[in-house]
Structure 1
Amino acid sequence: MRAAALRIGRTQSAVSLQIKRLEALVGAELFHRTGSGVALTVAGERFFPGAERVLAAHDETLASIRQDGLRGSIVFGCPEDYLTAFFPDLLRRYGAVHPGVEIEVISAPTIELRPLLQRRRIDLALVSQPGSAGPIEVIRHEPLVWIASTDAPTLLEEPTLPIALSAPGSIDHIEARCALDASSRPYRVSHASNGLAGLLAIARSGLAISVATRAAVPGELSIVTRGLPPLPEIGISLAYASVGLCCAKTVNPGLPLSPDALIPQAL
C-alpha cells in the first residue's frame, strides 16, 4: 500500500480507502492483510487480470479521444555519457508518444544532479549508483572501462600510471581508484574533468588513460583490457524531484506521462 501511494502521489490512507470501495463494488475481499503486508486473495487473483484489461482499455480510449495528448514541460537531468549513448533514442520514443511536452535537458554528473533534484530545479534525472544496488532501483547496468588512444598504450610501461578521472565524489572516480589500489598498481591522477568530452579528449591525446561507461566510448578510442585491473558495472536509475511525481509541470493529468515506464524500455 505504501509503494502504491508513493507511485500515484496519494496518501496511504487514501489508497486503503479506494481499495475498500473497490472490494465493496466487487463483493469480495481482494487482499489478505498480514503483519508483514498484504497479499492477493483467491478472489483478488481472479480479479487482477480483468482489472489490467479494463485499465488498458481505459488508457487506449482516452488516447484515441484526446489527440492533443499532454501539454507541459519537463526539466530532465542526465550525465553526459548517458546523454550521448542513450538520450537520442529515448527522446525520439518519448517525443512520438507525447509531442506536446517540451523537454529541457541539463547535462551534469550525478553528484551535481542529486542536489538539483532535492531543490526541485529538475523534475527527473538518470543517475549513477553502484552496480550492487537493488534490482528494483536499477533499470540498466553499464560496465566501466579503461580507455586510451590504443588498446596497448605505452603509458602502461610507466612506473606510475597517469590517469584522467572525473570529480572525486563520482562513482567512476571511486571505482577506478579502488581497482588500482586493490591491484597495488602505482598511479597518479594527472588530469581531471567533470565532463565526458574532457575525459575523451585526454584519452585521445595519449597523456593519460581515462575511464568511461562502455556505451559512451566512441569508435576512435580503444578499450584497454590488458595490464589494468577490471572495473565493475555501475547501475543507472531514474530519480525524481519528489516521490510519486514524474513531472511537476504537466497540465493535462488525463493521460499518464509515465517516463518511469518509457525510459526503462528505451534503455
Structure 2
Amino acid sequence: MDILRDLDLTLLRNFAVIARTGSISLASVQVGRTQSTLSMQMQRLEDQIGQALLHRSGSGVRPTSAGEKLLAHAEFLLARHDEILAEMDGTTLRGSVSLGCPEDYSIAFLPGVLKSFFARHPDVELRMVCAPTTELRPQLLRRQIDVALISVADPVNSEVLRSEDFVWVANAAKPVILDHPNLPLALSAPTTLDYRAACDAMEAINRRYRVAFASNSLAGLIAIARSGHAISVLTRTAVPPDLHIIQAGLPPLPTIGIALEYAEARPSSVARALGDHIRAVLPGL
C-alpha cells in the first residue's frame, strides 16, 4: 500500500523560484533563505517526488524533464492557492509576478503603469527583468518571467498596444559628426530591431556607416550620443531632453509596436491582473 504523500507548498514555491532564476544563489536572495537551506529543501522535494528535479552544474541549475513537468503543476497550484487566500480573507490580490521589459520602455512607461497598479494591489510582489526583446522571449519560453512587454516589427499587428517611432539621436541639432564620410553609429546588439532598422535605412540610401558602439545598455547608448562620438537610435519616448532628434541628412526609420506576452496559456491571477492593467493604461501614457 502506498504511503500518502502531501506536497509542501513552501518547497514547491521555492522550487519554482529556483527553476525560473536558474540559480540557487539568486533564488536564496529572493526567498530570504540561505543557499544551503534551499539545497536541502530541494533534496527533500526530490525525495517526495522520487525523481531528480534539477540538473546541477557550475553555471547554475535547470529543471530536468521531471522538473519541467512539476514546475507547470506547481505554478498552477500556487496561483490557485494565492487566489483562494485572497478571496477568503477579502483582501486585495496577493502573490508574486515577474515582469520583463526593455530598458527604454521601463524608463518611459513603467513608473506610471506600476504606480497605478500598486495603488490597487499593494500586496503584490513584483520582480523586474530589464532586457531586450531577444532576451525576454527565451525567458518567457523557459517560464523565468511571467509576462513581458516586447517590441514587434509590425506596428499594426492586432496584439500591439501602442506604436513607437525609432529616431536618430545626437548631442546637437546639427551635429558635426553628420558630415563624417563613414558615419559612426551607436546601436544595440545586432539581433535587436533598432540595429537592423538603422543598418537597413543606411544601406537603402547607400550611406557609408560603421557601428562604432554596440550595447544593450540604454545608458551606454545615451552616453555615447552625448559625447558626440556617434549618432544613436532610440525610441522617441526614450530620448532625454538634452539630446536632439535628427531628421535632415539621415534616412527615415520605421515605427515598431509594443505588445504583451505571457509565459503561460493560463497565466496566474496576479500575472493576468498585471497584464490587464498594462493593456488598459499603456496606450494612454
**Same structural fold, with TM-score higher than 0.5 when normalized by the shorter chain:** yes
1:13 corresponds to: none
- Deviating beyond 3 angstroms after TM superposition, the runs of 4 or more aligned structure 1 residues are 63-67
Measure, in 2, the Cα distance between the counterparts of 1:223 and 1:131.
23
Task: Name the SS for the 2:207 alignment partner.
Answer: coil
Report the CA distance between 1:96 and its aligned residue.
Answer: 1.2
Shift of 1:244: 3.0
Which residue in the other structure is 1:123 paired with?
146
Q: Report how many residues are paired.
A: 197
Amino acid at match of 2:130: S
5 Å-filtered alignment, 1:80-91, equals: 80-91=103-114
SS at match of 1:139: strand
Partner of 1:196: 218
Q: CA deviation at 1:125?
A: 0.6
Residue 216 of structure 1 aligns with an amino acid whose one-letter code is: A
**Any unmatched runs of 5+ in structure 2?**
1-85
Please give the per-residue CA displacement for 1:72-97, whole angstroms capped at 9, x wherever unaligned: 01111010000000000000111012
Tell whether the 8 Å contact from 1:70 to 1:257 is kept in structure 2 after alignment.
no
Deviations 1:204-260 (A, max 9, x none): 010100000000111111111111011111100001111231x37x4xxxxx94333
CA RMSD of aligned residues (A): 1.9
Q: Following the alignment from structure 1 to structure 2, what is the Cα–Cα distance between the partners of residues 185 and 258?
A: 47
2:177 to 155, 161, 167: 155
For the 8 Å contact 2:155–2:163, the answer to whether it is kept is no
Of residues 102, 107, 122 in structure 1, which corresponds to 2:125? 102
- 1:143 partnered with 2:165: yes
Higher helix residue share: 2
Deviation at 1:261, TM superposition (A): 2.4
- SS of the equivalent of 1:258 reads helix
The one-character-per-residue Cα deviations of 1:169-191 (angstroms, maximum 9, x if unpaired) are 10111111111111111100011
Partner amino acid, structure 1, of 2:173:
D
Change (3 A) 1:241 1:208: same
Separation in structure 2 between the aligned mates of residue 67 and residue 96 of structure 1, nearest angstrom: 17
1:261 equivalent in alignment to 2:276: yes
Q: TM-score, normalised by structure 1?
A: 0.70
Change (3 A) 1:94 1:155: same
Choose the corresponding residue for 2:266, options 236, 244, 248: 244
The whole-number CA distance in structure 2 between the counterparts of 1:207 and 1:131 is: 31
Partner Cα distance (1:127, 1:67) in 2: 34
Q: Distance in 2 between matches of 1:144 and 1:92?
A: 27
Residue 219 of structure 1 aligns with which residue?
241
Q: TM-score, normalised by structure 2?
A: 0.66
- Cα distance in 2 for partners of 1:131, 1:196 equals 22
Work out the CA distance in 1 between the residues paired with 2:162 and 2:266. Answer: 21
Over the matched positions of the two proteins, sequence identity in percent amounts to 50
Q: CA deviation at 1:264?
A: 2.1
> Mapping of 1:39-50 within 5 angstroms?
none
Q: Find the counterpart in structure 2 of residue 184 from structure 1.
A: 206
Instruction: Indicate conservation of the 8 Å contact 2:147/2:275, yes or no.
Output: no
Quick one: which amino acid aligns to residue 124 of structure 1? V
2:91 to 53, 60, 68: 68
Contact 2:98 2:129 (C-alpha < 8 Å) held by counterparts: yes
User: CA offsets per residue over residues 132-177 of structure 1, 9 Å max, x none?
Assistant: 452x210010000000101211111111100011010101111111
Alpha-carbon contact 1:76-1:105 (below 8 Å) kept: yes
